[in-house]
Structure 1
Amino acid sequence: MAKYALRALALVYLLFLLVLPVALIVWRTFGDGFGPFAEALTSPSALHAFQVTLTVAVWAVVANTLFGIGVSILLVRHSFPGKRLLNAFIDLPMAVSPVVVGLALILVYGRFAPVGGLLESWGIQVIFSTPGMVLATVFVSLPLVVRAVVPVLEELGDEQEQAAHTLGASRFQAFLRITLPGIRWALGYGVVLCLARSLGEYGAVAVVSGRLVDQTQTLTLFVEERFQNFDQPAAFAAATALALIAVVTLLLTKLLRPKD
């Protein structure tokens, strides 16, 4: 009886917390048919929000993938002073509020900050533009690739790499032919998680973007702006699109998740 009671409790919890809200959004989206949904997502503002979201997400995924692979190899294959501190810093984005991240970026890269002012004198605007949004997204999704790859690297060991080195292979050749194939599924899992986090980020991006309509507006910001301006069909359509992306991402993570 206790087992069935726990199952029922979990199902009811998920029903009211997750299933009903998402189902209500989908019902409101398609309540008048598919036409309003397609019309809302093909408006110039919605298409621009999709474009900005994709641009920010792609740059963030590329940066975190390169960083994640390099740091994972550094943490697993090498010992150096400050290794534990670096390992702890990687998890910092999971503990810091995204709003705090956005504020910190403004203090560093804002127009009146030393670094931001220097960059703007060179014609590079960070805050209230795409670079600032990319930096914010990179920060909040920083640990995902690293935490997916590190356990697999530890399990893989370095015996095959050492054997390749003794046979004359360079470090880069050993990485391409031994390390990368060994971590490919874990790397794919981390990349998909990073992409999902980047597509759905709101807090840090909202602070550094300035929420400029048709300029620095991602899809999540588009949902908020349309809802606050009483354009509910567009808000629900964009929210449903984000939910569909989340479902696809969930399926991909299940397929790419490394086996025990």
Structure 2
Amino acid sequence: MVEVSRPVKWALRLLALGYVFLLVAWPVGLVVQHTFEDGLTNLADTFADPDIVNALKLTVMVAFWAVAINLVFGVTISVLLVRYEFPGKRVLSALIDVPLSVSPVVVGLALLLVYNGRDGWFGPTLEANGYQVVFDSPGMIMATCFVALPLVIREVVPVLQEIGDDQEQAARSLGAGARQTFLRITLPSIKWAVVYGVVLSTARSLGEFGAVKILSGNYTGRTQTATLVVEGKYQNFEQGTAYATSFLLAFVSIACLVVVAFLRPKKTH
């Protein structure tokens, strides 16, 4: 291990703190400052606007279903990748990272081409049976699931690899079924990884913009989410409302991270 002098350590710490301050703390702090520069007026105006309230409710609904779906499939895929060997395993692992490398706008356009009701692959059939995906909540949930999927998996997979499968094999040798083994052995061992994955997925889902904008159509009062409200209000020179809405989104995400950080038990050595 290379020994680093004290001045170099302090320089590296200051560099890291300065980078985080300029990139994260300062911009977020400015949003908070502008939100409350007139007291609670901006927040009061935000909650008094029925279109914004509908957008906030829609955002929460889309995020809830996206996180719930990603929770089930994320944990399932994580167990599949770590505990089983099968052809195409590396391909599946690589595909999971696609949402992190592809622009959400591209994702939204791709889903639009597949599910639109005019000439999409599945859209006309679905709409003929009374199911509308594009320009409605199903398409928005689908897009949000896509962009947030890796966050649960990449939290759970390393923990599954670290704990190994000795306890699971012991439980099965004593007669426990797959369901009992998962609920009593595997899930308690990965619960905090799952919680962190859910929190990160929630934050990502609440802030999704590009893919949702394409698939929602941005119809005020019907398919407009909170992030789309921020764009619309800011472009219409209603910056106070835009700042207040941004503050609410950031507050919920940061509050989730803080609560989990306090609730998570400290490691004992």
Fold shared by both chains (TM-score > 0.5): yes
Match of 1:79 in 2: 85
Measured against aligned partners, the alpha-carbon deviations of 1:135-155 in whole angstroms (never above 9, x if no partner) come to 000000011111111111112
Give the aligned residue type for 2:141: V
Consecutive unaligned residues in structure 2, runs of 5 or more: 1-6
Measured against aligned partners, the alpha-carbon deviations of 1:169-201 in whole angstroms (never above 9, x if no partner) come to 111111111111111111111111111110111
The 10-residue stretch of structure 1 (37-46 or 203-212) with the greater mean CA deviation from structure 2: 37-46
Match of 2:257 in 1: 250
Match of 2:28 in 1: 22
Match of 1:119 in 2: 126
Distance 1:43 1:257 in 2: 41
Match of 2:198 in 1: 191
- The RMSD of aligned alpha carbons is 1.9
Distance 1:73 1:20 in 2: 39
The normalised TM-score by structure 2 is 0.90
Does residue 215 (structure 1) correspond to residue 222 (structure 2)? The answer is yes
Match of 2:38 in 1: 32
The 10-residue stretch of structure 1 (47-56 or 20-29) with the greater mean CA deviation from structure 2: 20-29
| Contact 1:185/1:257 (8 A) holds in 2 | no
Give the aligned residue type for 2:93: N
Give the aligned residue type for 1:62: A
Residue from 37, 45, 51 that aligns with 2:51: 45
Distance 2:154 2:246 in 1: 29
| Contact 2:202/2:253 (8 A) holds in 1 | no
Give the aligned residue type for 1:84: R
Q: CA deviation at 1:127?
A: 0.7
**CA spacing shift, 1:13–1:109, aligned 2, 3 Å:** same
| Contact 2:46/2:53 (8 A) holds in 1 | no
Q: Structure 1 residue runs of 4+, over 6 Å off?
A: none
Match of 1:228 in 2: 235
The 10-residue stretch of structure 1 (37-46 or 171-180) with the greater mean CA deviation from structure 2: 37-46
| Contact 1:200/1:242 (8 A) holds in 2 | yes
Distance 2:198 2:266 in 1: 13
Residue from 133, 149, 155 that aligns with 1:148: 155
| Contact 2:203/2:253 (8 A) holds in 1 | yes
Does residue 90 (structure 1) correspond to residue 96 (structure 2)? The answer is yes
Q: CA deviation at 1:9?
A: 3.5
The 10-residue stretch of structure 1 (132-141 or 167-176) with the greater mean CA deviation from structure 2: 167-176
Count of paired positions: 260
Residue from 109, 129, 135 that aligns with 1:128: 135
Distance 1:13 1:55 in 2: 34
Residue from 176, 185, 190 that aligns with 2:183: 176
Consecutive unaligned residues in structure 1, runs of 5 or more: none
Match of 1:166 in 2: 173
